Amino acid sequence: MKRNRGHSGGRQANGVHGGGGGGQKGEAKKAITERQVAEFTQEWGALAQEEVSSADYYFNSYAHFGIHEEMLKDSVRTGTYQKAILQNAHLFRGKTVLDVGSGSGILSLFAAKAGAKKVYGIECSEIVEIARQIIAYNNYDDVVEFITGKAEEVTLPVDKVDIIVSEWMGYFLLYESMLDSVLFCRDKWLKEGGLIFPDKASLYLSGIEDADYREEKLGQWHNVYGFDFSPVKAIVMEDPLVDNVQAGVMNTTSCQILSLDLNTCKKDDADFASRFSIRALRRDFIHALVAWFDVTFSCRDVPHSHSVSFTTAPFSKWTHWKQTVFYLKDALVAHEGEEVSGLIAVRKNAKNPRDLDIKLKYVFDGAAAIAAVGGEGEREETENVVGGNEPNGAAGMDLEEEEGDQAGGEEAAAGKQKEKKNAAQRERGSGQGTGVNETLFFRLR
């Protein structure tokens, strides 16, 4: 995050740009300053080694504390792990625990506090050095031991563990996720009947109205300093948007497209294809599909255990995972009850398996399938469809209103006429009444 630098005002600090005064005294100061600068730029300490250790960009990105700070401040994420572990402390007491991708060490600390006999944390990035200090500061260094390296390459001091904990989820559940590593550790080290925290995950899809951002994302390319950059739109469309979506723009039912049980699933299950079907909840535009996931700590329904879960859905408290938005080629004009159906296929990218390739096919046969393309016109009509200018979405929805409502004056009367016209257009379809059958490709990177 970039922050504005404060202006020092008044006096300029001494340094390279500082005034040196006049005569020989000024020249001496200048010479000393230049020598100091030369010496200063020769020594970079630990930063000089960074390029040597950054061959794997993924792991190197987790060496910086900023990303861990964001995750620690995510109260849904970290608070749910805390609740799941400490409310099930009886399951951890006296047990051996493996923390896969231990990062800052917070999950290892939860496990140690719950009474684990030994906690082994596997971490490949350089954050492990800070984590060791944190563990020592909290007097758990006799319980928690970190092992540096990739989960698939390290050796544990024990043959089996009782519990695996891991925060393996990424954007869209699977992007940059450590699921493969968790499953590897499960198969190699988890004892028969052992527990995984969390062990269940589901991925969902729904439709949203998002005219403003769609126009911002795509409409701007029609005029770039007087030039038409429209060919760029195809490239921009390939990148899904990761952002927080307001619950109010969701306008269809949701559909589960993936369900994973980490106790039994295989590595290949993360490459999947699924049918989906969603229905419009109101008359509105559908500009995009939005995806989110749920996670559950089921404890395998062990007696006296407490199942805990959280969701990253738009209608819940926001998390650092946000939601993932896939913009459609054209906005769909949907009436209440009309169905959008299709297929979605997800696979790891061949060159970079932490990226995801996503193929989306959708079919829609609504009364007015595609919104008229026209930038401003579409945004204007969207406001009318969802009632952007009156409370409770009332604008433009009542064809029986009397034209001559004098209470609002001439402006109100003109507005009502405009709303009536738009409503009548929607009754006739307000779009192209042909079916939609599109296939789009995305890459989450």
Beta partners for residue 334, in sequence order = 284
Whether 254 and 227 have beta carbons less than 8 Å apart is answered as: no
Nearest to 150 by CA among 265, 268, 260, 55: 55
Q: Which one is catalytic: 123, 126, 167, 378? A: 167
- Concerning whether 401 is annotated as a catalytic residue, the answer is no
Distance CA 207, CA 288 (A): 6
419 as an active site residue: the answer is: no
Q: Which of 123, 126, 176, 209 is catalytic?
A: 176
Distance of CA 432 to the CA centre of its chain: 34
For 222-371, list the strands marked E by DSSP: 241-243, 250-261, 272-279, 284-297, 308-311, 323-334, 339-348, 356-364, 368-371
Long-range interactions of 123-127: CB distance < 8 A, separation 24+: 123/147, 123/148, 124/56, 124/59, 124/62, 124/148, 124/149, 124/150, 125/59, 125/60, 125/61, 125/62, 125/63, 126/53, 126/60, 126/63, 127/62, 127/63, 127/64, 127/65, 127/68, 127/103
**Number of Cβ atoms within 10 Å of the Cβ of 245:** 24
Active site residues: 167, 176
